[in-house]
Amino acid sequence: MNRLSKSDILHGLRELAKELGPSSPPREIAIAGGAAIVVLYETRQSTRDVDVVVSVPGVREAARAVAARLGWREDWLNDGAKGYLRGLSLGEVVMEGPGLIVRTLSPQHLLAMKLSAWRDDVDVADARVLLSNLSGDKQAIWVRIEPHLIPGRELKAKYAFEDLWEAAHGRS
């Protein structure tokens, strides 16, 4: 499978929960990147993979077993977004299975990651969606985003945020 839809992602995560088996307390992971956007907002239909930013023992092995069973790429679940992770601000629960809770990162944290990466039109589109789902004025939103920006990319992120804000709200 080359692309994962919302239903694919949730199916894969349910299979991951089964593969890991029940535990007490439940294990918890957080998803980021395109997978979080697909699951939370459905503004795009699919993503290449599921970026996990909080991992627990055994997840990689369980994810490989799920990939083999479903005929998916071995790296469908990976930690590729860790280079854009600073701090941890968890968002809503998107799946609960026996022994596994899956959350997204908070929208402000996801936006900080997109602004720090700012690689292509997909990042820009995702950032627009995230910004539109945050409430507050420009300064209040920036204050919530700033702690999660990657050191050395703050200026790039600030300019990207300014452009996004202006496109959405005009000059302020």
Q: For the chain, which residues make up each domain, given as ranges?
A: 4-105, 109-169
Rounded to two decimals, the pTM is 0.94
Confidence of residue 54 (pLDDT cuts 50, 70, 90): confident
Confidence of residue 146 (pLDDT cuts 50, 70, 90): very high
Strands 4-5 and 46-47: antiparallel
CA distance 71 to 48: 14
- The one-character DSSP state at 82 is G
**What sections of 102-153 are H helices per DSSP?**
107-117, 121-132, 138-145
Sheet strands (E) in the chain: 4-5, 27-32, 46-47, 50-54, 77-78, 90-97, 100-105
Q: Is the peptide bond before 147 cis (omega within 30 degrees of 0)?
A: no
Confidence of residue 158 (pLDDT cuts 50, 70, 90): very high
Q: Which amino acid is at 148?
A: H
Tokens describing residue 54: 């909080």
Quick check: 153 pLDDT over 90?
Answer: yes
pLDDT digits (tens, 9 = 90+) for 57-115: 899 999 999 999 999 999 999 998 999 999 999 999 999 988 899 999 999 999 999 99
Quick check: 11 pLDDT over 70?
Answer: yes
Q: Which amino acid is at 149?
A: L
* CA 62 and chain centroid, separation: 20
Mean pLDDT computed over every residue of the chain: 94
Quick check: 172 pLDDT over 90?
Answer: no
CA distance 118 to 3: 21
CA distance 129 to 103: 18
